[in-house]
Structure 1
């Protein structure tokens, strides 16, 4: 026969486990990945915004970037390295929210 005294500590341990599991699942939505990075309008044919804006392409789908600017990485119109002229590879951390990529880090791989 099991004593009722042991149920309360087990319940607390179970609740702590569930809490940490939920927190770990929520934090995994932002992950590090290798993407194509360029001007959404000039290179990825995105038309929902005017002008030149930084975008990522993940699994053949393009998203404008929040958290980094197209000019953060030099002249966007430089013929050899500008995002309006070439598509570059980058390691990014972030997540897609409301059809936009919310970047927490961007590191170019071809520097």
Structure 2
């Protein structure tokens, strides 16, 4: 019985530790492209299943000039592969790789 309880506990810990998942999302400026208004200025955001969230853990200028006409987040919506989770209506990113 002790072994069964131990095995169940370990499975629960492993399952809970893997809450962050990798997914393909839209990445852009929350204000300029996604219409978010809860903060001022240009800030990085992701859109997941039609819901946009500001990003914590990455900056809008981490991938170049945000106002570049061809690739800037204030000008275009780009695709990215992210790992993280939504916490308190913000996306806590632990990895972000641009796909375009």
TM-score greater than 0.5 by the shorter chain: yes
Unaligned runs of 5+ in 1: 1-10
Higher helix share: 1
Deviation at 1:16, TM superposition (A): 1.8
Tell me how far apart the structure 1 counterparts of residues 2 and 24 of structure 2 sit (CA, whole Å): 41
- RMSD after superposition: 0.8
- Give the length in aligned residue pairs: 100
Query: Are positions 1:14 and 2:12 aligned together?
Result: no
* TM-score normalised over the length of structure 1: 0.87
* Whole-Å separation in 1 of the counterparts to 2:97 and 2:17: 20
Aligned to 2:97: 107
Using the TM superposition, give the Cα deviation of residue 14 of structure 1 relative to its aligned residue in structure 2, in angstroms. 1.3
> 1:60 corresponds to which residue?
50
**Matches of 1:107 and 1:61, distance apart in 2:** 20
Instruction: Return the match for 1:37 from 15, 27, 43.
Output: 27
- Relative to the length of structure 2, the TM-score reads 0.96
